[in-house]
Structure 1
């Protein structure tokens, strides 16, 4: 059951501290709480729950989303997150509590459900609301930022106001920067031999589970697990095995896996597969497909196959060929984002490799939906300069960066070279966003295990990155005001 939590956050000075004192209004978590439209998120979050009055009351959206934002911003694990929230009154204020409490507000296991309940779509929607609010403030020339609109006792604030009525489309305005990257998953580097050995060990556990009820009545299948383990270690411990040795070892493990699959099929005639745990049954399905792929590659002497499985625990992970100097192949999801005025927004997330050039038209249309106008220019690399994209941009009066298709002309106008250099410089902003997200917010290694939760984590990292940008702008606005006051009092310094 989910009941709407209409009560809004109290002022920082009204937050009760049993050991005395009061919260500072210039604290980063207090200021960050003003930037998030909690009421609008509440309406979106409540759609995921039934109207049935039975059952326990679910956590508020401020508790769920706030905890995930803290986790991605600080890089805490689930357990450490709950510990820090229990110890820090500012974090409890950010989560919507009215007084400091010494007991944990929730169990660490609930964080997985928070990621599932919110989902990437809801997080991306919140991200777009924050970016739209930031652009509206910049257009209106609001020098004070959201700090002049803190929550009041009645619960109304700048973020809780209804959205303004849509205006008619304006002329071309702004620049859209597009690019894509890979968000690597937290898996060991996959090799065919290691994958088959892991699959064999999991199948042996399944055989033990299916045969457990027939001990003393039925002879256990002879799976030769000790011999299979020795065959694997003979090659795995070799520092530089030859190709022929690796191929022979893979062939042996393939035969062991095939043998175990036949034993499981025979045992299933006496013991239903419902005896297996949910994880074991899922692993059995994944291993069946893994064995088919590995057998096909072994037979054709190839290392390519459609929808190749590189992790039994995370079968959705795919190899993404990037051609980078650091890593030619990365294993994870491919993420396409757009950057507008320094704010990053999600355009597409896929676990299969795709041509990012196909996302240009959809990204421009989303730009129109978000901001009510077409961009002046789209800054992207050469892969986006397809004939279809060039035709679309020409029809809508959008300049697409980069050289023209075909043979380079003999004479180039100086203005075109200057424009191309400026475009390359401005397009570096998206590379900077990728670097910031991977170094500071965990995009370089996604630790979530499920497909949906991994996509939620990626969306959260973009959201936190945009919130950090708004906090930096707020700091510089306040610093500018203080500098102007000091200049008026003291005069210029020479």
Structure 2
């Protein structure tokens, strides 16, 4: 059930509200006044039942927490904890007076993300593009792909087989099934032999131990299949069988039991040959650097095949069709997609004029700027490791990271404009008084 709107006519006799207490030069303060919060209220209202159930947390509060989490690179627990300590976070979330308690449980952010889904998060990304104004309406853009790694351990067959054994024993205990053997003591010696497999004399022992652990895992899976009802844990047991049957050169292998959709992607990096996660397509305007498209691509498709979905999302978010898109050589073979001309680096034709060659060179030079953009998405806005579950979590994470970077761009612009205005007045004062300024009010330096 939706919560009742807050009555702002009379807040407190004892203290002024947050609007009067805080600095209106703070970027979060300015951003709070620029975001169209009513858009989220109207769009997400359909996910709640009228006059039924416990009153929910305000929609603005939950959307603001999702934004702050990725803007400040925080976990669910940290953003909820810092919210109770930060007055600007509270004003950004729509609070009128300071509240010294947590706004909600951290798990409520999980439920809210699942409730609004991909469409709701895409609406947040669309709003971040709108706030950037004309920067999101340019005719030229750069497109590139990267990998958002999933929160899994480095996958090996021996790890997966041991996890299957643990899960089978846990299922048996939960269902009250008595196993013929639990193999607790039997697995100790193979574990030691597997641990020291890199020693030159232990290679054969380690391979023999791998085979033994796999055999034990197969026995437990088959015993559960015999003793459990036909439909009980059917999905889990089929996944276990699939892991036990897969071989080294197989395609569509399972690399994690809790994230079976993870793909192994090679991007040609010397320091990291393989990454385990999902491919992401990023579209950035060439002059302003606004992210106008951020799309998760399940599987490991050839880069050129991701252009259709990426440009379709870009047109859906901006309502504007790109004239030209500059890509790297990984997109070879695509020349035009959805009315957008695709430029790939290659030797120029003699038929091109010098002016056109210079324009293309300029476009490819600006295309290189997308690489540090992706780097900042990973290091500053939680794209490097995705903790959200499933393909749905992959979609949500990449769009929230892109939206956070767009919001952060405008916050930096407002901050820099304030600094420029401040130093402009300093120069005027120095010129008129012919005296240097030795003291600066600290309040002017607070952002």
With normalisation by structure 1, the TM-score equals 0.76
| Cα deviation code 1:201-233 (max 9, x no counterpart) | 211222233336xxxxxx641243321342233
Q: Say whether 1:305 aligns with 2:250.
A: yes
Match of 1:177 in 2: 142
Match of 1:253 in 2: 213
Match of 1:211 in 2: 176
Q: Name the SS of the counterpart of 1:331 in structure 2.
A: strand
Q: 2:225 aligns with which of 257, 265, 269?
A: 265
Match of 1:426 in 2: 366
Distance across 2 between alignment mates of 1:491 and 1:455: 55
- Shift, 1:418, TM fit: 4.1
Q: 1:77 aligns with which of 75, 78, 93?
A: 75
Match of 2:263 in 1: 318
Structure 2: unaligned runs, 5 residues or longer: 435-447
Distance across 2 between alignment mates of 1:11 and 1:320: 57
Q: Say whether 1:348 aligns with 2:308.
A: no
Q: Name the SS of the counterpart of 1:348 in structure 2.
A: strand
Q: Say whether 1:289 aligns with 2:287.
A: no
* RMSD of aligned alpha carbons: 3.5
Match of 1:190 in 2: 155
Number of positions where the alignment pairs a residue of Structure 1 with one of Structure 2: 429
Distance 1:482 1:12, change over 3 A: farther
Distance across 1 between alignment mates of 2:410 and 2:17: 32
Distance across 2 between alignment mates of 1:14 and 1:323: 64
Q: Say whether 1:337 aligns with 2:282.
A: yes
Distance across 1 between alignment mates of 2:231 and 2:136: 61
Q: 2:104 aligns with which of 103, 106, 113?
A: 106
Match of 2:57 in 1: 59
Q: 2:305 aligns with which of 336, 358, 363?
A: 358
Distance 1:290 1:420, change over 3 A: farther
Match of 1:460 in 2: 400
Distance 1:262 1:468, change over 3 A: same
Match of 1:225 in 2: 184
CA contact (8 A) 1:124 1:459 kept: yes
With normalisation by structure 2, the TM-score equals 0.83
Q: 2:322 aligns with which of 375, 379, 383?
A: 375
Distance 1:364 1:433, change over 3 A: same
Match of 1:42 in 2: 41
Distance 1:84 1:455, change over 3 A: same
- Shift, 1:316, TM fit: 2.3
| Cα deviation code 1:435-490 (max 9, x no counterpart) | 00111122111223444234323221111111000111222333444455556665
CA contact (8 A) 2:265 2:276 kept: yes
Matches within 5 A, 1:472-483: 472-483=412-423
* 238-247 or 320-329, larger mean C-alpha shift: 238-247
* 437-446 or 245-254, larger mean C-alpha shift: 245-254
- Shift, 1:391, TM fit: 4.8
CA contact (8 A) 1:131 1:466 kept: yes
- Shift, 1:256, TM fit: 0.8
- Shift, 1:339, TM fit: 0.5
Distance 1:403 1:233, change over 3 A: same
Q: Name the SS of the counterpart of 1:71 in structure 2.
A: helix
Q: Name the SS of the counterpart of 1:188 in structure 2.
A: coil
* 409-418 or 105-114, larger mean C-alpha shift: 409-418
Distance across 1 between alignment mates of 2:14 and 2:142: 42
Match of 2:440 in 1: none
- Shift, 1:313, TM fit: 2.0
Q: Name the SS of the counterpart of 2:142 in structure 1.
A: strand
Match of 1:436 in 2: 376
CA contact (8 A) 2:3 2:55 kept: yes
Q: Say whether 1:2 aligns with 2:2.
A: yes
CA contact (8 A) 2:27 2:412 kept: no
- Shift, 1:420, TM fit: 4.7
- Shift, 1:191, TM fit: 0.6
